[in-house]
A and B are shown apart, each in its own frame.
Chain A
């Protein structure tokens, strides 16, 4: 016999995931505008790899293909990873990262809903540890690069590793704004001196600040559509802002300002798309506050004192680990059993 409730909403997991993908559109569009269409190649490679890996793993695990392939979750993993690594990287880089993320971080942990760690961030961590050199070949925004490489040449580089004669990789790529800041600070320059370098724009890196803005726009849509809880991005960005502001106030020579932090690296992508992954984040309100604030602190610490230019991926992975504990700690009282209430 059938049991109540007999009604359900038409909302499905695949719809939710699809909306998250829609929310990435503004950021990706601005990416293409400032850095050229190479990112679309990375995304395509990642998506193809993700779907193939997902299908293979489902087959190995004897799970039905259709409901799980159509849940769209692998597409999000693919897009987030593609957006986290340099677009002008050899094709196998994104393929290895995506395949590892889907096969190991997702399916070996039990598949959709059971992955302790964010698969995209695991893929990213594997790549930055295994292939650090390739992970620094970031495209310079169009307005900065000395040499405009046609898209066909970029494609050729991605797949064959050959650049047209006369052009070098150094002319096309550059270190990220966060990386440059770190290197130059080590060389003894002050924050103000570094910020006046041509790669920096209004808030952070030229071009990349606009992409971050695009991610923020998509994120606001996700909050409005109630796909993600507002508290996660709010607590994350708020904490990052406050920490950066306090240190910048104390020592503006050595600590860069809060807006620079918010619009650099993967902070915006993380705030709205990575830390909000429901599977790897806490389920209670207080838990979410603790999680997001800690993630912001870790991001800032890794950026400021750590060995890697950005700290979002590691902050996400470290906080993923703490989620069961945070959830257990922050169980709210149930109806009629709250303290201080009758």
Chain B
């Protein structure tokens, strides 16, 4: 077990640890916490993407025109890493086609368009008692219920709730919610703390974790109080609600794990290797709904804030168009764009008709007044404010320099891929350089180049082998030809020696004819002898050594061919 004694002591003493850097952007959270979670009325149309999770796209299981019930599976998980997608309400499938989805790429993806019938009629569903159900069955239930990480990463929870090779000491439940504006986890913790804790209990059972630590930033005292009360009320053991300092990006899984346990999980390492697993509070809540009530993930809490009349949290059916959501919250006319997620790591939505997905924790209506266009960038003056705030302990000013000069090798050497794109560096940059933009550019360039290089390497290998094969075949053909000619020449020579030195064409035509026939027979015999190379009794020593040399060359060529991994046909021999 990787966890050593001293860190274990630290956990028991609840000493909080610190991550490097971090920033304190204005939180803007109070504007959306004034009223409780409201339910959005049924929209006229739902556009449900089939790919709302990390892994393979779900396979559609319904046909256009088919009537579906609320909670009915419309997308079947495909392959090991995938998740199911369900009809968020009862209605008719209007289309299954490619549509623009809420994703940074702006690329279209396969969506099911559902016209609700207004009845909101459930499919038959029932929960189980997790204590009497096998872990495999529980994980199957999570997968079939479409439960994925609701903190934004949307990784299938059934995969994350399984650790075969590593003992899990600590299960971290992430209620930090460090991004400005977002309050969906805050409100969920205030209003539904008991089901969150029960979900955490299920996850702990699945992971055999020793303890559950629930980290909440200390700017959410109501949530902390509600969770502590629920914890006491239901008498959860080995579980603790811990207030962590408010410091962005303290809600990043790696940062929260470090703060709570003192364990640093490097880039490219799974936290389970260090004995820790981390789930978001909303995920824990969904786990409980899926297991105890058999309810698949049909909706999520979305903070609607920014340039709207009443910023608030809504329980929103997946697939609800963003424009309906913001319209309900009182969108103001000067809203120019919509940010999904927080202002630090969120994405600028391609348009407002995209549907809410499992990753949509917040929609910020952005006006030029709230989010002024970026100021023109000045050169970097190496002030290292970015280095001071980088939670990954990188040298952002160097990475910027390397990315800008397309020096990608050096960028990788300086751990470009350890960057979590939290945006703290760009936030503090006095030269207003869009640093994260440069890192994203460099990362995608490197990935594209790696891919291209692999493809080119493969193409070159194939081409080289083809050249080699053509050359070899040519050689073999030439050899065969040479052998034939040699045999013919020999036969001829033999025939000539048997002939009188001077042939008078007129002397005896029959004799000449006979001789020709003999010579032809001899040639045929020679050829047969040459075709079976061991049969060399008739050859002169010189001829024999020549044949041997040819055989050796052949063997060598065959060896090279088989060494090169020749997958083509064996060389032909006559």
Contacts and interface: CB of A to CB of B under 8 A. Distances in A.
B392 interface: yes
Interface in B411-470: 414-415, 418, 421, 423, 426-432, 434, 436-437, 440
A61 B7 CA distance: 57
B218 interface: no
A274 to B, nearest CB: 15
Given A3-B434, A334-B392, A335-B20, 20 more contacts: A3-B104, A4-B345, A5-B343, A7-B343, A8-B432, A16-B430, A67-B378, A71-B378, A113-B379, A113-B382, A278-B382, A283-B382, A283-B397, A332-B393, A334-B394, A335-B264, A335-B266, A341-B264, A342-B4, A342-B274
A6 interface: yes
3 tightest A-B contacts by CB?
Answer: A336-B266, A5-B423, A113-B379
Interface string B253-279: 010000000011111010000100000
A284 interface: yes
A125 B382 CA distance: 24
Dominant SS at the A interface? loop
Contacts, number: 145
Contacts of A229: 384
A331 B180 CA distance: 32
B350 A1 contact: yes
B345 A5 contact: yes
A322 to B, nearest CB: 15
A12 interface: yes
A336 B395 contact: no
A341 B19 CA distance: 14
B395 A342 contact: no
27 contacts: A1-B348, A4-B344, A4-B345, A5-B343, A5-B345, A5-B426, A6-B344, A8-B427, A11-B428, A15-B430, A16-B430, A67-B376, A111-B379, A112-B378, A113-B379, A113-B381, A113-B382, A278-B383, A279-B381, A284-B395, A327-B398, A331-B395, A332-B393, A332-B395, A334-B394, A336-B264, A342-B263
Contact of A6 (B343, B397, B418): B343
A342 B378 contact: no
B379 A114 contact: yes
A35 B414 CA distance: 51
A335 B430 contact: no
B381 A6 contact: no
Interface in B309-354: 337, 339, 341, 343-348, 350
B565 to A, nearest CB: 37
Of A1, A4, A11, most buried by chain B (CB within 10 Å of CB) is A4
A186 interface: no
B393 A342 contact: no
A175 to B, nearest CB: 37
Given A6-B339, A9-B428, A11-B428, A336 B378 contact: no
A7 B345 contact: no
Interface residues of B, number: 65
Nearest to B25: A7
Contacts of A279: 381-382
A12 B106 contact: no
Contact of A112 (B19, B265, B347, B381): B381
Contacts of B385: 11
A120 to B, nearest CB: 15
B76 to A, nearest CB: 33
A16 B384 CA distance: 13
Given A13-B430, A335-B20, A336-B265, A7 B395 contact: no
Interface in B1-25: 2-4, 7, 19-20, 25
Nearest to B392: A335
Interface string A50-74: 0000000000000000011001010
A337 B269 CA distance: 10
B343 A8 contact: no
Interface in A74-127: 111-114
A1 B106 contact: yes
A331 B431 CA distance: 23
Interface in A187-205: none
A12 B430 contact: yes
